[in-house]
Amino acid sequence: MCNNECVNLSKYSSGSDPINQIMHDSCGIGSVVDIKGRKTHSTVDDALKIVEKLEHRAGKDASGKTGDGVGILLQISHNFFSKAAKEAGIELPPEREYAVAMIFFPQDKVKRARHKKLLEILLEKEGIPFLGWRKVPINSEILGEKALGCMPSIWQCFVKIPMNTKTGIDFDRKLYVLRREFEQSINSETYVCSFSSRTIVYKGMFLVGQLRRFYLDLEDKDYESAIGMVHSRFSTNTDPSWQRAHPNRIILHNGEINTIRGNIDRMLAREETMSSELLSGTDFEKVLPVVDNTGSDSAMLDNTLEFLMFSGCPLPKALMLTIPEPWNKNEDMPRLKRDMYHYYATMMEP
The residues annotated with a catalytic role in the active site are 27
**If you write DSSP's letter for every residue of 290-329 in order, what string do you get?**
SS-TTS-HHHHHHHHHHHHHHTT--HHHHHHHHS--S-TT
> Rounded to whole angstroms, how far apart are CA atoms 84 and 253?
31
Residues with Cβ < 8 Å from 190, sequence gap 6 or more? Answer: 103, 104, 105, 106, 111, 112, 115
List of long-range contacts for 299-307, beta carbons under 8 Å, 24+ apart: 299/244, 299/247, 299/248, 300/18, 300/257, 300/260, 300/263, 300/264, 301/251, 301/253, 301/257, 302/247, 302/248, 302/249, 302/250, 302/251, 302/253, 304/263, 304/267, 305/250, 305/251, 306/176, 306/249, 306/250
